[in-house]
Amino acid sequence: MGAVAPGAVVAVPARNAQPDGLADGIARLRRALRRGARVADPENPLAVAQLELLSALAENPGSRPGHLAQRLHMRPNTVTTIVNALVAHGMVSRAIAGDDRRAIELNATQAGHDAVRAWQATNASVLHAALSTLTAQQRRALATAVPALDSLARAVDRLADIAAE
């Protein structure tokens, strides 16, 4: 682990931690969204891992493969395989890094950005259709929880970054 500020609390997930309602609910929601998106857009040729990598590239242009592997908690050879497939689909471009001619930087092409936007739109459509089946009280509760869920996502990312150092 990297350096931690004095007095900072660092939570390290226990190997034997039991799933709780929140973790289980989030996992079920992720699975349901993936399934719903596949049903809503069966023509999408990309795997979820490819879409996740494209999303990471859209958020972090010019990333190097090692950085993506660390960020996505993937093995470097897995990132290479996914990148090769995305390059073949015309969704990722490679360029020699400006500061190190031995390294490459990756960027999502316009087709890659379009694929990310389409995936996000499909997920939003599935989510909004499902939300419309909930009661007004349930929708308000979920809307109220959005800032906390966003903070939770950032906290999980920070913990993963600390653990990866």
pLDDT (0 to 100) of residue 9: 46
DSSP output for 64-86: -HHHHHHHHT--HHHHHHHHHHH
> Which has the minimum average pLDDT: 1-5, 73-77, 140-144?
1-5
CA distances from 153 to 48, 90, 103, 104, 116 (A): 18, 30, 30, 29, 19
Average pLDDT over residues 31-36: 92
CATH number of 43-133: 1.10.10.10
> Where along the chain do its domains lie?
43-133
pTM: 0.75
Where would I find the beta strands (DSSP E) of the chain?
92-96, 104-108
Q: What are the tens digits of pLDDT across the range 120-152?
A: 999 999 999 999 999 999 999 999 999 999 999
